[in-house]
Chain A
Amino acid sequence: MHNSISLTVNGVQHDIALSDPRVTLLDLLRERLHLTGTKKGCDRGQCGACTILVNGRRINSCLALATSHDGADITTIEGVARGDELHPLQAAFIAHDGFQCGFCTPGQIMSALGLITEGQAGCDAERIREGMSGNLCRCGAYAGITEAVLEVQQQLEAKERRVA
């Protein structure tokens, strides 16, 4: 079966021919578009390393068939920084030692982006931890990850107060 889908990935539109419907968004990003920042950890929706934003929402790309997402707007870790300028979350992960080996980090950052957009956690560390529970870190950098997300959320809220 031949099927063609169109995806916007990090602002760039791609028309992609799919000869097999089994291709997940994760495999398409990594193997077809060579965007290897999105990691394949468990490939079963348990570890969160493959987290991306689809139409602004964080999902596990390993459990999403590419062919079902024709027309989707996708953001991966490669689309987060502005040139050489790191996204505040990326800078905060470095400042707070939010990783050791780094394998889970792209998924953690994409998940944190989704969490902040969802607006459910605010500056409550426990809600941040709960909201990030779909991202495992085998190095155990959870304390730094929570601090990094909390700091960016606090910066955002301070900025909103200044604007208001």
Chain B
Amino acid sequence: MKSFDYVKPASIAEAIAAARTPGAAYLAAGTNLLDLMKGGVSRPDRLVDVTHLPGLGTIEKLADGGLRIGALVRNADLAHDAAFAKAYPAVAEALLSGASAQLRNAATVGGNLLQRTRCAYFYDVASACNKRAPGSGCDARGGANDIHAVLGWSDGCIATHPSDFCVPLVALDAAVEIEGSKGRREIRLEDMHLLPGTTPEQETVLEPGDLIVALKLPAEARNFASHARYLKVRERTSYAFAVASAAAHLTLANGRIEQARIALGGVAAKPWRAREAEELLVGREVTDQNFRRAADAALAAAKPSGDNAFKIELARRIVVRALALAAAGTPERSPALPASPFSIHSGALHDA
């Protein structure tokens, strides 16, 4: 690992001042950043440790019915917060389907939003990668690319965003509170991540020194609590990134869908909101046919970026199944295998 200066600021203002200089990076838990630094993929000159900053570790209910989650709340603490899991069950299920218990105990809310792609060519410093070394090319294009993007990709980059957490958050219109040198501002999470285009190295709209201080869920996000699921297909049952995933949220009245919120994960360089699919479901009955039409709309613009045409049909089926599970109702407790399509009978060993 390249050497770096370590800075431990006492306040958010100090942190921003220290992180504004080129080559500086914020350190939270480090579960992604240290891995990248050990591989020589990230080579910061200065780490600004924000883990000790005061006031960033609380979950508070807002007067308008929304929720504000401090950027340093750990993934496991948020997922296991009983009130949170009851109000936003698909978000809790997504969190619990990501990484391992050890990583969830360390990883933070803010860090999760900013985690980097797991594209193997991004990680391998001997490979050409426009995201890691702009202009060097993309070895994923002719390489092992079966799990790469099918939506929003460009000739320069076909990597996907790896977060599970972000998928239901984008569906629920989450916002990100950012503090920078010009003060505090709020943006929609959906607008924070960028598609690659010709500048895949620019992954978010954050500017140097910008610090995510909180995540916000609007009051309406609670309306979906009784019909919300996250579903994720992995290459193994647990502790793996999504090949493709979907968050489905519904409100129902007299057997008809009033509102739908759908987003997909593992398919693009950002968590992918499927608004056209949502609109197709409004006022419709809960039927497999309607869910299929919505899924077709969600994937209408998809095209393979390599050996991954299968992902388009896989993602369609995940959307259909996530919608069917959401319509059936949120389980009392997150399943033994969170977000797993193999989780059918509670308590039964699925592959024993």
Contact = CB atoms under 8 A, between A and B. Distances in A.
Contacts of B101: 58, 111, 114-115, 118, 131-134
B4 A44 contact: no
Interface string B1-42: 101111010000000000000000001011100110011000
Interface in B83-120: 99-103, 105-106
Given A1-B6, A68-B30, A111-B102, A63 B35 contact: yes
B348 A126 contact: yes
Contacts of B6: 1, 3, 21, 65, 67
B16 to A, nearest CB: 19
Interface string B313-351: 000000000000000000000001110000000011110
Contacts of A133: 100-101, 237-239
Given A59-B106, A133-B100, A45 B336 contact: no
Nearest to A126: B336
B239 A134 contact: yes
Contacts, number: 103
A125 interface: yes
A24 B271 CA distance: 32
Nearest to B337: A130
Interface string A38-65: 0000011100100100000111100111
B326 to A, nearest CB: 22
Contacts of A45: 31, 34-35, 102-103
Interface residues of B, number: 36
B27 A68 contact: yes
B168 to A, nearest CB: 19
Contact of B102 (A59, A65, A68): A59
A58 B49 CA distance: 21
B349 A126 contact: yes
Interface string A68-88: 100000000000000000000
- How extensive is the interface on chain A, given as a class? 35 or more
A64 B29 CA distance: 7
Given A68-B27, A126-B349, A43 B99 contact: no
Given A21-B47, A24-B34, A120-B80, A59 B105 contact: yes
B127 interface: no
B336 A130 contact: yes
B51 interface: yes
Nearest to A60: B102
Nearest to A43: B38
A63 B106 contact: yes
B7 to A, nearest CB: 10
Contacts of B237: 133
A62 B312 CA distance: 37
Nearest to A68: B49
Contact of B5 (A1, A68, A134): A1
A57 to B, nearest CB: 5
Identify the interface centre among B1, B76, B103: most chain A CB within 10 Å of its CB. Answer: B103
Contacts of A68: 8, 27, 30, 49, 51
A129 to B, nearest CB: 8
Given A21-B47, A126-B347, A65 B30 contact: yes
B134 to A, nearest CB: 25
A1 to B, nearest CB: 7
Given A57-B105, A114-B105, 9 more contacts: A3-B6, A44-B35, A45-B102, A59-B103, A60-B102, A60-B103, A63-B34, A63-B106, A130-B337
